[in-house]
Amino acid sequence: MSDAHPERPADEVPPAPDGPAPTTEVEWRRLDQRMLLVNPVQELIRFFPLVIGALVVGRSGDSNFWQLLGIAIPVAIGIVRFWITRFRITTTQVELKRSLIGTTVLTARLDRVRAVELTSSPIHRILGLAKVEIGTGSKGSEEKFALDALAIPEARELRVALLHRAAVEGAPAATELPPAYDEATGVPAPPVPAEDEVLMRLDPGWVRYAPLTSSGSVIAAGVLAVLGQVVEQLGESLFDEEDVLRLVLEVSVAVLIPVAIVVFLVLGAVFSVLGYFVTNWGYLLTRDARGRSLHVRRGLLTTTETSLERERFRGLEVREPLGLRLAGAARLKAVVTGISSGESGSTQLVPPAPRKVVDRVGADLLGYSAPLVVPLRQHGPAARTRRWTRALMGASVVPAAAAVVCWLTGLSWWAVVATLVVYPAAAALATDRYRRLGHELTAEHLVVRSGSLGGERAILQRTGIIGWNIQQSWFQRRRGLATLVATTAAGDQAYAAIDIPEDQAVALADEAVPGLLTPFVAGEQLTSAS
Amino acid sequence: MTEAPVPPTALREPAHQVSSKAPLLWAVGAAFGFLVLAAGMVAVHLLWFELPVWAWPVLAVVAISYVAVMPIVRYRVHRWESTDSAVFTQTGWLSRERRIAPMSRVQTVDYQQTAVGRLFGLASVTVTTASAAGPIRIDAIDRPVAERLVEDLTRRAEAEQGDAT
């Protein structure tokens, strides 16, 4: 779809041109001057409790000395931070230096840059600034490599320079797949784009999926905990305690518990909706005109622009937890070399959205839709038995525990009977978990799916597989099953086909990465031994 | 998808067994672990509360059978092989795990020898790839074998090109 050897774009900043490395030292640069405004404010916020303390102390004294000091120190720290920070970009690396008494120099090799993230907090946005965070995929370094901050246009230019160095130097860029829109994906072949190509734009209606994710209830729990603290502190002065007590006692537990649950659920829903808008407002997924990188822009207050290099792209994860799945929705994440999936949302491509949108974007990125929509091969009766055994064994813990409690406390045995409802739930879970197990090979990808409550369909580029682990527990061996794990340098580092019949595991691994297993195949020993 | 004429359905075992001294090493390690546990139990018994009398024979039976059985079973399972194109290992005793990594994706080759290992003249070799889930460890092989293996692996991995991701 795009030229693999693009010429140098006109709007690019240093690093210096394609010629030989300059003999003179590259000069150290300062961050944007407007940081002289941002830094003191940020320090004031950071020192907020101290500042308040200083103000209170100041009020009790005669002079304004403490008040002034409480503000002057954070402001001074902010200004000093600006003066001591410098950065430069040489032909091979980007360096960040902070020197006051000691000197700290952070160095990142340009060819190791895997992702660039631009973040603008509200104050950054007012001043037209963006923080540039550079991800190199190293886990050893404690400090994030961040240039905080540059003017937004400058930051964007820097991003282009950092991400597309390889292409600029004429090294082969990512091999682009021809767009094969043969299947009924509803996507017309896009015209050759003049600039960044928009792959997906947020539809505010998708906020309806937000309450189906767990994020809202987590926030709600947090807010309730804080509220509880506040009420405990202020309660006596605000309410007449006896009134409250009387109110609580008059209402029976049978009413109170459902009401509490409903309040919690409603709060959870409200917060998840708010959270969805705050993080995903204006969500825009674009692809660089030459297909070299993907950009995600999002955020209501603080805006974030994440860029992922196409060359390090190894596949996709379609995350479909139960709630989203029932509503026909899913999330899409990229599997990128050097960025583990656990890292905070930095590889998310599509927020909770209709499955159709996820499939369309996925097909667009892969060049064909098969990995997202192809029916998967099921793992067979032994795998089903194992799902059932595990679910029922797990569920049995509940009545057993209840029985022990009843025996010890003399509680009514009806409590144990009541806990038996876990069995239908376990049965439903086992059925669904088995249905969700599956694997398939497509032209370029290995697709594995598993999980019910937190289900995931992982799509891994076959050339990104860098090894196989075939695991068999004692129970799996008795049933002739195995867990086939494809290891990779990207995303979760390992993607597993769980409880697949032994013979199929070997056949699948052999077909996915031809030749690797050949010398070790049973029966081949005589012919291949030399 | 191209259908292979006869898709392979099983792997053979890796060619080489670990050192015949390996069971001894594992037994010593396991016995040492049980000694530490027993010492802890004695400390609890003397300092905090009395342990039931049957705890001691139970510990002895479990320890002796584990130390006797585990190394033998493990010795039958643990195998390894290194070809020009890949490393292949089999480990475990109750559970089994087979790991295969292509030589083209090998990033580092490490050689380790523990204090007890030195006593028996044993060493282990760990091959890592760019995946955090991919290290392959060949445990308890004779030192000369391990040294030769490291040399071979390093040479073969160097011969391959690319950034191994």
In this prediction, residue A263 carries a pLDDT of 84
**In terms of pLDDT, which residue wins out, A254 or B42?**
B42
pLDDT band with cut points at 50, 70 and 90 for residue A108: confident
pLDDT band with cut points at 50, 70 and 90 for residue A452: confident
Q: State how far the Cα of A416 lies from the Cα of A154, in Å rounded to an integer.
A: 67
pLDDT band with cut points at 50, 70 and 90 for residue A234: low
Evaluate if residue A502 carries a pLDDT over 70.
Answer: yes
Contacts (Cβ under 8 Å, ≥6 apart) of B9: A502, A503, A504, A506, A507, A522
Minimal CA–CA distance to A286: which of A384, A364, A181?
A364
Sign of CA dihedral A140, A141, A144, A146: negative
What's the first-to-final CA gap in chain B, in angstroms? 24
- Report which secondary-structure segment, H or E, holds A461: strand A454-461
- Judged by CB atoms closer than 8 Å, whether chains meet at B8 and A525 is answered as no
In this prediction, residue A24 carries a pLDDT of 58
Contacts (Cβ under 8 Å, ≥6 apart) of A296: A283, A284, A285, A304, A305, A306, A307, A308, A348, A349
User: What is B12-58 written as a DSSP string?
Assistant: ---SEE--TTHHHHHHHHHHHHHHHHHHHHHHHHHHT-PPPTTHHHH
Per-residue pLDDT tens digits for A292-331 = 888 899 989 888 888 888 888 899 999 999 989 999 999 9
Evaluate if residue B56 carries a pLDDT over 50.
Answer: yes
CA B143 to chain centroid: 15
Question: Which of B7, B8, B131 comes nearest A467 by C-beta?
Answer: B131
Using a CB-CB cut-off of 8 Å, the residues of chain A touching B96 are 471-472, 477
Per-residue pLDDT tens digits for A276-293 = 888 888 899 999 877 788
Question: Which of B4, B9, B85 comes nearest A519 by C-beta?
Answer: B85
Give the chain B residue whose CA is nearest to the CA of A467: B101
Backbone angles phi, psi at A27, to 5 degrees: -75, 145
Query: Is residue A15 reached through a cis peptide bond, with omega within 30 degrees of 0 on the bond before it?
Result: yes
b/e per residue, A176-205, with b = 16+ CB within 10 A? eeeeebeeebeeeeeeebeeebebbebeee
Of A174-188, A392-406, A455-469, the poorest mean pLDDT is in A174-188
In this prediction, residue A484 carries a pLDDT of 95
In this prediction, residue A384 carries a pLDDT of 94
- Judged by CB atoms closer than 8 Å, whether chains meet at B95 and A472 is answered as yes
- Report which secondary-structure segment, H or E, holds A159: helix A152-163
Per-residue pLDDT tens digits for B29-44 = 999 999 999 999 999 9
**In terms of pLDDT, which residue wins out, A144 or A515?**
A515
pTM for this predicted structure:
0.78
Averaged pLDDT of chain A = 80
Question: Which of A493, A510, A524 comes nearest B7 by C-beta?
Answer: A510
Give the chain A residue whose CA is nearest to the CA of B130: A489
Which of the listed ranges A68-77, A415-424, A483-492 does the model predict with the highest average pLDDT? A483-492
In this prediction, residue A167 carries a pLDDT of 47
Using a CB-CB cut-off of 8 Å, the residues of chain A touching B12 are 520-525
Residue range A260-281: average pLDDT?
A: 86
H helical segments located in B78-142: 115-120
In this prediction, residue B77 carries a pLDDT of 94
**In terms of pLDDT, which residue wins out, B17 or A162?**
B17
Mutate to test the interface with B, among A313, A445, A462, A469 (most CBs of B within 10 A): A469
Residue A491, sorted as left (phi over 0), alpha (psi -120 to 50) or beta, turns out to be left
Q: Which amino acid is at B126?
A: T
Distance from CA of B160 to the nearest CA of A (A): 14
Evaluate if residue A76 carries a pLDDT over 90.
Answer: no
Beta bridge mates, B109 = B127
Q: Which two tokens stand for residue A219?
A: 């926030």
Four-point Cα dihedral A75, A78, A81, A86, nearest 10:
-120
Contacts (Cβ under 8 Å, ≥6 apart) of B106: B87, B127, B128, B129, B153, B156, B157, B160, B164
The per-type count for chain B, helices as H runs and strands as E runs, is 4, 7
Per-residue pLDDT tens digits for A33-65 = 888 888 888 888 887 777 777 766 666 555 667
Question: Helix (H, G, I), strand (E, B), or coil: what is residue B161?
Answer: coil
